[in-house]
Amino acid sequence: MAVKTIEWRADSVRMIDQRLLPNREVIRIYRDYRGVAEAIRTMVIRGAPAIGVAAAMGAALGFKGYAGKRALARFEKVAKTLRATRPTAVNLAWALERMRMVLEANLELGGSALFRRMRTEAIAIHDEDIAANRALGNHGAVLIGKSATVLTHCNAGALATAGYGTALGVIRAARDAGKKIEVFADETRPFLQGARLTAWELHKDRIPVTVIADNMAGSLLSSGRVDCVIVGTDRTAANGDVANKIGTYPLAVLARRHNVPFYVAAPLSSIDLDCASGAEIPIEQRSPKELSEFAGKQVTPKGVGIFNPAFDVTPAELVTAIITERGVAYPPFSKSLAKLKRGS
Ligand code: MRU
């Protein structure tokens, strides 16, 4: 995709403002970690791998001029602010932990050398994410027929990552392998990542895409037109339970009901072996306004209750396979995921 989700340029972090897509392409520039934290919290940037990269770059920005013990204390402060932005995607904590390890290994460096080292690491996390998505895409493309219709939910594309995408990476790789791919995108209430973002990037890439309201997925799947469902993940537990955008779980139930394979595209940075099952995954609750208002206008009676969890957990038993950059994991996931993650 020609538009970059996030990049480090001239010691600032640039992001396309995803809240304004598809109508306006506005680039935001951040020179301070607090700005990056606010961008993650308010969803200027979103998607598990993308917020991991943003947190790493934010942590690097927070380092200018710090060295030795002061650097450690500074890191704790910066990381705390970044970590508090969104709790579900493990990539954010994973990227901060990687930055902390680099810091601890380089405490003898002077202020500007330490900053340069942290900057190099953040850029490496960005670049490795794209490479992982390309490898994951190639593994996943093998699972797709020569001519296939794919249903996806939310946005697990270039916009949700440093580039190329996970679920949409599989679709891109299948298309590049000469397969004829058609995509149905759930609109994904209430933030409309499917209608606004998935449709935008696939259309830009000339991959045929049709948007449906979330409540149309059952009728679409029962029509027999869908060959497989592919979604991303914010955190996949050691047993294969998958946290992803709210609405993923009902899609998995429907897919099972209609004998349609349900695939999860999960870079290893989204797999959390320290989390035994989905019950341990923290689920972010977002502002009631995302539901009570639409395009700035109140749509529910004032004073009624609003429940707005941003993610749900799909039990491993509904997942056909989990696609990673090291290969495809099949049930039992407690064995296959651990093997792929440990690289043995
Ligand atoms: O709330 P969001 O837009 O950050 O949620 C994003 C998702 O649920 C994605 O499917 C997930 O992060 C995987 S992105 C490769």
| Centre of ligand 1 from the C-alpha of residue 237, in Å | 16
Amino acid at 336: S
Cis preceding-peptide flag for 190 (omega within 30 of 0) = yes
Distance CA 167, CA 138 (A): 11
Does 335 have pLDDT greater than 90? yes
If we measure between CA atoms, which residue out of 262, 247, 250, 236 comes closest to residue 324? Answer: 236
* Residue 86 CA to ligand 1 centre (angstroms): 11
User: Strands 180-186 and 147-152, how do they pair?
Assistant: parallel
- Residue 72 banded pLDDT, cuts 50, 70, 90: very high
For residue 96 the two structure tokens come to: 């901060």
pLDDT digits over 87-135, tens only? Answer: 999 999 999 999 999 999 999 888 789 999 999 999 999 999 999 999 9
% of the chain with per-residue pLDDT over 90: 94
60, with CB counted inside 10 A (0-12, 13-18, 19+), is buried
Can you read off the two tokens belonging to residue 133?
């998505």
Pocket residues: Cβ below 6 A from ligand 1: 46-49, 89, 154, 156, 160-161, 166, 193, 232-234, 244-245, 310
What is the distance in A from the centroid of ligand 1 to the CA of 108?
Answer: 38
Closest CA to 294 of 282, 280, 306: 306
Q: For 337, phi and psi rounded to 5 degrees? A: -70, -45
Mean pLDDT of 69-97: 96
Nearest-atom index, ligand 1, CA of 48: 12
C-alpha R_g of the chain:
20
Q: Can you give the pLDDT at residue 341? A: 95
Domains in the chain: ranges and CATH:
6-134 (1.20.120.420), 137-342 (3.40.50.10470)
The protein residue with its alpha carbon nearest to ligand 1, atom 15, reads 156
Q: How far is the CA of 156 from the centre of ligand 1 (A)?
A: 6
Catalytic one of 129, 214, 234, 241:
234
Say if CB 263 and CB 170 are below 8 A apart.
Answer: yes
**Token duo for residue 231:** 């979604």
Which among 193, 230, 271, 286 is the best mutation to test ligand 1's pocket, defined by most ligand atoms within 8 Å of the CB?
193
For residues 331 and 63, the model is more confident at 331
Single-letter amino acid code for the residue at 1: M
311 CA closest ligand 1 atom index: 8
Smallest CA separation from ligand 1 atom 14, residue: 156
pLDDT single digits (tens) 289-310: 999 999 889 999 999 999 999 9
Q: Sorting pLDDT into bands at 50, 70 and 90, what band is 192?
A: very high
Q: Are 167 and 230 in contact (CB under 8 A)?
A: yes
Of 130, 133, 244, which is best to mutate to test ligand 1, by the most ligand atoms within 8 angstroms of its C-beta?
244
Spell out a b/e string for 81-101, using b for 16 or more CB atoms within 10 Å of the CB, else e: bbeebbbbbbbbbbbbebbee
The reported pTM is 0.97
Instruction: Say how many residues make up the chain.
Output: 344
Tokens of 192: 């409309």
Best residue for ligand 1 mutational test, from 1, 92, 245 (most atoms within 8 Å of Cβ): 245
Label residue 2 by pLDDT band (50, 70, 90).
low
- Answer for the pair 265, 156: CB distance below 8 angstroms, yes or no: yes
User: In this predicted model, what pLDDT tens digit does every residue of 208-251 receive, in sequence order?
Assistant: 999 999 999 999 999 999 999 999 999 999 999 999 999 999 99
Q: Is the pLDDT of residue 67 over 90?
A: no
Nearest CA residue ID for atom 6, ligand 1: 47
High-pLDDT (> 70) share of the chain, %: 99
pLDDT at residue 1 greater than cutoff 70: no
Cα of 89 from ligand 1 centre, angstroms: 8
Atom of ligand 1 nearest to the CA of 310: 1
Q: How many CA atoms lie within 13 A of 316 on its CB side?
A: 21
The pLDDT tens digits for 141-190 are: 999 999 999 999 999 999 999 999 999 999 999 999 999 999 999 999 99
Please compute the mean of the pLDDT values over residues 253-276 and round it to a whole number: 98
Average pLDDT, whole number, for the chain? Answer: 96
Nearest CA-CA partner of 323 in 136, 131, 135, 134 = 136
Distance of CA 47 from the midpoint of ligand 1 (Å): 4
Atom 10 of ligand 1 has which residue's CA nearest to it?
Answer: 232
129 near 161, Cβ under 8 Å? yes
How do residues 10-61 score in pLDDT, each as one tens digit?
999 999 999 999 999 999 999 999 999 999 999 999 999 999 999 999 999 9
Active site residue 234: yes
The pLDDT assigned to 242 comes to 98
Q: Are 187 and 195 within 8 A, CB to CB? A: yes
pLDDT at 344: 57
**Beta-carbon contacts of residue 113 (< 8 Å; ≥ 6 apart):** 106
* pLDDT exceeds cutoff 90 at 64: no
